[in-house]
Amino acid sequence: MWPMFNLKNKIILLFLFFTFATFALHQYWHNYSVNQTILEAESARNALLLQTMVPVVQTNLAFGLIDSNREYLDAIAKDNSGILSIVLQDRNEALLYHYGNQNQIKYGVDVHAHTLSISIIDRVSEAPLGSLEVRFSNLFFEQLRKKHTHFTLQYFASIGVMLSLIFFLLGKSLEPMQRLVNTIRSFSPLDGAKQLSHTLREDETGIIQNALADMTDRISEHSRMLEMMNQTLEQKVHERTLALEAKIFEVQEQEKMLIAQSRLAAMGEMMSMVAHQWRQPLSTSTLLIANYKLKAMLSGKATESYDEILDTISDTMTYLSDTIDDFQTYFKPDKEMKECSIDEVVGRAVQFTAARMKNAGVEIVYLCVEGVQVKSYFNELVQIIMNIINNAVDAILLHPQGPKKINIACGRQDDGRVKIEICDSGGGIDEAIIDQIFEPYFSTKGKNGTGLGLYMAKMIVERHLGGRIDAHNRNGGACFTIMIG
């Protein structure tokens, strides 16, 4: 409210406040001085009355004139209405006289009073004769003080009413200016509902408002033109920026995919050469075993133990040949998506990593619903699951004190999507970095990690398969969830 007043009104208010405060302090000091003066006068009068009573009471006590004391004290109490009680005792504290004013009963225990007492001593022998106690009422003083206080409160109330009326009239006279100030504060060049309108008032407020309205109209027009230019420029910059960012991201993704595919292609070529070198000796060994078994059967020299050993060797060589074919197929990136069985994908990934898990003493348990089909890149999905399994094995080897176990579960959800969940007992992922593990080149393996495994997994799942992959901790280990479909 204070900033709305002009300098003149501020000076008037300050003057009124200073006058009111000065008068209040003066009244307080005046009340205090008057009260103290009246109280001191009352005390002096009461003390003088007590000093006047002492010689008479002293003489009567010295000569044993008890009745005379009673008559004298009754006369004193009758002539002084401010006395509430008089108590006279002898040297042994025996009660010789007692007077109690009915005003004490009338005004109750809240009567303001003070008590004066004095010891009475024989002036000749200086022996104690007794004591005199007089209780004086301050009722007159209290009534006077209340009247003065009541008058002061009425005066202050009148001053308060006058000031309230002044403030009210000032507020009424300044309401148009206040409305103008509020309108200016809420003025927005581009908001039609907050424009400053013209007025028919001809006073100072009207003149100022009309001048400001003309100025704000010009500001609004220029602001609208500037806003249109800024929007056009921002739109162009935004479109160019988005296009450039999309192009850069596309190039980066293509480079990363090309690097990964070139590595797979190189490994595929190497596996082809290994397969070419291995397949002929394996085929020759298999034929020799078959030829030996045939000759043994024709000559009748075949034995069951030899046949069992030869069958085992033949099966092992066949398995080795099939494994070479599997790896050769695996390292050829798929060109198009096709329907594949999710339990077959998981089984192939487990098969490829079985030897490492066996050497590390890691138990793997996977439960996949048979017959669940999903449209995906078979080899890429196998690569993703293998990568997660190998990371789980690394984590378990870093925490050998706990159980060494990996659980895989897969199946179709109620919403139609296929879910693959891989959980390990490797101590989990540090919560401080769990949001960074899918970022490119982020690795916890130091020089042994490239930081591209989980990143490529995320890119393949989210951008090529239209799915989602995330990680969280559960029961002292890490869990990776892949949703496809």
* pLDDT tens profile 139-195: 766 777 777 778 777 877 887 787 777 767 766 766 666 666 777 766 666 566 566
Cβ(422)–Cβ(384) below 8 Å: no
Cβ(461)–Cβ(467) below 8 Å: yes
39 or 344: which carries more pLDDT confidence?
Answer: 344
94, 149, 161 from 154: Cα distances, Å: 52, 9, 10
456 or 13: which carries more pLDDT confidence?
Answer: 456
Q: Note the pLDDT tens digit of each residue in 358-411.
A: 888 899 998 888 888 888 888 788 888 988 998 899 888 888 777 889 999 999
Of 132, 140, 148, the closest CA to residue 87 belongs to 132
Domain with CATH 3.30.565.10 in the chain: 335-484
Domain with CATH 3.30.450.20 in the chain: 2-166
Cβ(57)–Cβ(72) below 8 Å: yes
Helix (H) or strand (E) holding 367: strand 363-368
Q: Note the pLDDT tens digit of each residue in 312-365.
A: 666 666 656 655 665 555 555 555 778 888 998 898 888 888 878 888 889 999
* CATH top class, domain 335-484: alpha beta
Does the pLDDT value for residue 425 go beyond 80? yes
DSSP structure string for 144-181: HHHHHHHHHHHHHHHHHHHHHHHHHHHHHHHHHHHHHH
Contacts of 310 (CB under 8 A, 6+ apart): 289, 292, 293
CA–CA separation, 217 vs 55, rounded Å?
100
Of 79, 91, 140, the closest CA to residue 120 belongs to 91
Token digits of residue 224: 């609208």
pLDDT at 470: 92
- pLDDT class for 270, splitting at 50, 70, 90? low
- pLDDT class for 105, splitting at 50, 70, 90? very low
Question: 343-351: which pairs have CB atoms within 8 A and are 24 or more residues apart?
Answer: 343/368, 343/369, 343/370, 343/371, 343/372, 343/410, 345/376, 345/378, 345/381, 345/382, 345/385, 346/385, 346/408, 346/410, 346/420, 348/382, 349/382, 349/385, 349/386, 349/389, 350/389, 350/408, 351/326
Residue 188 dihedral angles phi and psi, to the nearest 5°: -130, 120
Report which DSSP code applies to 198. Answer: P
* CATH top class, domain 2-166: alpha beta
- Using a pLDDT cut of 70, give the percent of the chain over it: 70
pLDDT at 264: 57
pLDDT at 326: 52
| Mean pLDDT score across all residues of the chain | 76
Cβ(408)–Cβ(365) below 8 Å: yes
pLDDT at 479: 94
Q: Note the pLDDT tens digit of each residue in 203-222.
A: 666 677 677 777 777 777 77
